Structure 1
Amino acid sequence: MRGESVTGTVVGTSNARPAEAAVLDRRAPAGPPRAKVPGGRLRALDGLRLVAALMVAAYHYGGRGGEVTRAWGASPAHQFPTLHSWFAYGCLGVQVFFVISGFVICMSGWGRPLRSFFASRASRLLPAYWAAVILVTAVFALPVVAYEALSPSDTLVNLTMLQMPLGVDRVLGVCWTLWAEIRFYALFALCVVLPGANRRRVILFCAGWTLAAAVAQGAKQPLLDIVLMPEYAPFFIGGVGLYLVHRDRRDAYAWGIVAVSWLIGQHYAVRELWHSPSVHAFSYRSSYGIVLVVTFGFLAVAAIALGLLSQVDWRWLTVAGALTYPFYLVHEHLGWVVIEVLHQRLGIPSYSTFLLTVAVMLLLAWLLHRYVERWLTPRLRTALSRPRAQPSR
């Protein structure tokens, strides 16, 4: 769910023997050259990021129960009798985000020293996140809002992004995905960025993580599950493989990584999300539908990697991509408040309320991007990238 430039320098050389290096470290793209949009940005990726965010919003507003039922005053199944079962698949937007993240993080970390990589990730994640935590806490603390705010202590812990492993309640319901992202960043930084990214290391990273995640699943050890994330690893790994495809579309190893990741990823998605029609749940999903949505995520990023969507070069997509992250952070909890005001207090019909709530959250995302991210992100990146001054002797 992060915007980065496509430009980057290939660094690092293989330590393999010449014959092995010829196979594992091929650099020159074969076939037609990769398509790049003006300025080196894949704007279609920004558009896909927005699609994934809107999928998640549809799920939170109309495809599930919980607190949103209180906001509507009735189950979303009654508010959206035709679309609620489709909205239920929107939760898979998270898996699409993870595939995009694998692609972007490999692109971002290639040719970048560890300090720069860390500064880029921290400055991208933290400003909007801090603002969202403070904003949601403040709104939920208002007497007119029926939703309960966390204690000051728990809210402060949430600012670290470590509330999940510490067992602290979350201010933002969606922040569990950020905990998965952070663990992915750490694995990629230690295994690829620190020694210097090259094709051979990335392939070994993908293969090693895939095997280790499978072992972790079989071992059923909580520590291994936390570190290796078996249920989410295939999506990150698949995105990394698709970045290798972006560099060389004839790379058989890259295609193999993508294929294995898709096969394992759809298995985990079905296992975690499938609800049989016989189960009493208004938002049941079919296994076929889950597989189709997972496949859509992989195919969409693959189309971008292969340059098939290079004509999707609308400048507004860059803005859309920039709004996706703050929108994702605030849309769920603050969306409850907006839905309750529009639907229950003002009497606006369900479908109009849905669209207006999305529009209000996009406007709020723009404000966060304009007045928080654009101001704080470059300052934080500069501060974190600055080399430490050597003490005078």
Structure 2
Amino acid sequence: MKQNKIEFANSLRGIAALMVMLAHLYGVFWIDRATVAMLTFSPALPTSAATPWYISLLWKVPDFSWGLLGVGIFFLVSGFVIPFSLTSLSAGKFLLGRAFRLMPTYAAGFSLTLLGAYLSTCYFSSTWDYQPHEVLVHYVPGLRDIVGTRGFDAAIWTLEIEVKFYLVCALAIAWFRRQSKLVFFLPIVLGVLAFACSFWLRSFNTGEGTLHRLMLVAIFNCQYIIFMFVGVTVNYLYQGALRDGPAYVLIACLLFLFAVVWAAGPYAWSFAQLWNYALAVPIFLLAFVFPQYLRSSRLLDFLAAISYPLYVSHAVFGFFVLRWLIDHGVRPSLSLLFVSVLSIFMAWVIHRTVEEPTHSFGRRVAKN
């Protein structure tokens, strides 16, 4: 049973990656044509390119996003699995292992993103306006938001939050090793920091400058790291460090803090998106309580294996290929099928050629 409870998180990761791909290729490409045009340096998809009838069925519910639901599940899975790594490694070795886990695969996926954008500029005879420093800073997730360059990759914002979460966990590694409940003071500290920054911005907001930008970065990251501690709570419940009643009360408190930080801060304009993350919690808990329904299987294991490379590689490259196919008269449904299969295949290639060897090497380096 315990092994099944670990497997459920692995299976959820693969399902979440499919949700994000679905959101981009079957949603954003058709619904937010201006954003796609900006990311691919192309004219907006003309209105003559009719949206397939089934696209609207996927987006019937107001403010619902398959992508945000998938991201929410990703965050919860990270919060659940990361404490396992903290029990046997020093803070430095943990961060080194995470760097090998995160950066090489993202670099491969981001390179595919750049290739899609470049091919689009060639096809549409448009101007490439990314500066070299903007490109380079993307190759180190966690720096772009601090440096303050624009983001032109669909995955980088979540990886920036992941990196900050790793740093927070590394700072509290002694507590995690003892399975101390003191770790749950961390989201309180992050909440206080977010409220202080929000108060400063409301009271002394100049609307510009490095301090202003860094406070926005702090609020944004604190908000989602608080949410990730829901996954940490489930980890403590799994390991017996928390009992059922206190664990579920703590989850409710963390969700409340997450919502209050969001509503009180400068990102309140997007507060309607909250329920996507709130929905991810019962899905995650149901999978945790009934892991037998997400046992390891050939399909789920495959999706889990390619989940990270699929997440970081499919969006911009997929947008360009979709647009190219439609411009050449290929039916939208057939184009979507082709790009979906292509995205999964490219993710598998990155998994086998980059993710597997670098992750294995990183684990060996961290242990030794």
**Into which bin does the TM-score normalised by the smaller protein fall?**
0.7 to 0.9
**Per-residue deviation at 1:125?**
0.3
Q: Is the 8 A contact 2:175 2:182 kept in 1?
A: no
Q: Is the 8 A contact 1:238 1:258 kept in 2?
A: yes
Q: Distance in 1 between matches of 2:144 and 2:276?
A: 30
Q: Among 208, 212, 237, which residue is 2:189 paired with?
A: 208
Give, as a single letter, the amino acid of the residue that structure 2 aligns with 1:336: F
Q: Distance in 2 between matches of 1:305 and 1:353?
A: 36
**Per-residue deviation at 1:182?**
0.9
Q: Which residue of 2 aligns with 1:140?
A: 117
SS of the counterpart of 1:231? helix
- In the alignment, does 2:44 pair up with 1:68? no
Out of 351-360 and 140-149, give the one that drifted further. Answer: 140-149
- Higher alpha-carbon Rg: 1
Q: Which residue of 2 aligns with 1:108?
A: 85
Return closer, same or farther for 1:72/1:335 CA change in 2, 3 Å cut-off. Answer: farther
- In the alignment, does 2:196 pair up with 1:199? no
Q: TM-score, normalised by structure 2?
A: 0.78
Q: Is the 8 A contact 2:137 2:144 kept in 1?
A: yes
**Per-residue deviation at 1:259?**
0.7
Report 1:1-393 matches (<5 A).
Answer: 35-37=2-4, 42-61=6-25, 62-63=27-28, 64-65=31-32, 66-68=34-36, 70=43, 72-74=45-47, 78-79=51-52, 80-86=55-61, 89-92=65-68, 93-142=70-119, 144-146=122-124, 148=128, 150-161=130-141, 162-193=143-174, 196-220=177-201, 222=212, 223-227=214-218, 229-248=221-240, 250-266=243-259, 268=262, 271-273=268-270, 287=272, 290=273, 293-306=276-289, 308-316=290-298, 317-349=300-332, 351-386=333-368
Larger proportion of helix: 2
Q: Is the 8 A contact 2:94 2:366 kept in 1?
A: no
**Per-residue deviation at 1:338?**
1.7
Deviations 1:242-276, CA, capped at 9 Å, x for gaps: 211222362544323211122344563894436xx
Q: Which residue of 2 aligns with 1:31?
A: none
SS of the counterpart of 1:236? helix
**Per-residue deviation at 1:149?**
6.4
CA RMSD, 1 decimal: 3.2
Return closer, same or farther for 1:163/1:203 CA change in 2, 3 Å cut-off. Answer: closer
Q: Distance in 1 between matches of 2:275 and 2:8?
A: 20
Give, as a single letter, the amino acid of the residue that structure 2 aligns with 1:45: A
**Per-residue deviation at 1:334?**
0.6
Higher RCO (CA 8 Å, separation ≥ 6 residues): 2
Q: Percent identity?
A: 23
* Ranges in structure 2 where 5+ consecutive residues have no aligned partner: 38-42, 202-210
SS of the counterpart of 2:105? helix
**Per-residue deviation at 1:193?**
4.9
Return closer, same or farther for 1:74/1:149 CA change in 2, 3 Å cut-off. Answer: farther
Q: Is the 8 A contact 2:134 2:150 kept in 1?
A: yes
Aligned residues: 334
SS of the counterpart of 2:291? coil
Give, as a single letter, the amino acid of the residue that structure 1 aligns with 2:170: A
* Ranges in structure 1 where 5+ consecutive residues have no aligned partner: 1-33, 275-286, 387-393
